[in-house]
């Protein structure tokens, strides 16, 4: 091989290592894109990050939101997916779901992690 080809190979390998993609991350990405919640759950249980970025800076949650894969989105959220992450266009998964008019996905994403304060019963006045 010429010196130029070796340099090119070196940079390709180095960039692959710097990006940090593993075969498991690639499998999770494919499973999310296909809506395969069984595989998604299995890979998340093995510790694969739910916050992988794909093209245009989209997260896997954004991909699931765009395709209205509710079960997949819920699994990603349950395993720590960042619902506030933004892509290169400044969009969140919730905004993507709204643009696609995916009502159930909008409900899931907008209600996820919301803390509902406990209602305390009104104190009865004592008559003394």
Q: How many CB atoms lie within 10 A of CB 38?
A: 10
pLDDT, residue 33, reads 97
Is 22-111 in CATH node 1.25.40.20? yes
pLDDT score at 113: 82
Percent of all residues in the chain with a pLDDT value above 70, rounded to a whole number: 76
Decide: pTM greater than 0.85.
no
* pLDDT (mean) for 20-26: 76
40 pLDDT more than 70: yes
Local confidence band at 28 (pLDDT 50, 70, 90 cut-offs): very high
With 60 as the cut, is the pLDDT of residue 14 above it? no
- Under DSSP, the state recorded for 37 is H
Q: For residue 124, is pLDDT > 80?
A: no
Indicate the domain borders of the chain: 22-111
> Which residues, including other chains, have CB under 8 Å from residue 64's CB and lie 6 or more apart?
32, 35, 72, 73, 76, 93
How is residue 71 written in tokens? 């079960």
| Helix axis angle, 70-78 to 23-34, nearest 10° | 140
63-79 pLDDT per residue, tens:
999 999 999 999 999 99
């Amino acid at each position: 091989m010429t010196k130029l080809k070796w340099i090119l190979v070196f940079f390709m390998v180095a960039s692959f290592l710097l990006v940090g993609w593993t075969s498991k991350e690639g499998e999770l990405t494919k499973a999310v894109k296909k809506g395969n919640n069984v595989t998604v759950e299995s890979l998340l249980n093995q510790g694969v990050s739910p916050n992988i970025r794909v093209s245009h800076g989209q997260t896997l949650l954004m991909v699931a939101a765009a395709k209205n894969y509710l079960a997949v989105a819920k699994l990603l959220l349950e395993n720590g997916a960042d619902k506030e992450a933004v892509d290169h266009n400044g969009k969140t998964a919730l905004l993507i779901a709204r643009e696609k008019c995916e009502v159930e996905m909008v409900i899931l994403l907008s209600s996820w992690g919301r803390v509902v304060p406990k209602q305390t019963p009104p104190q009865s006045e004592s008559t003394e």
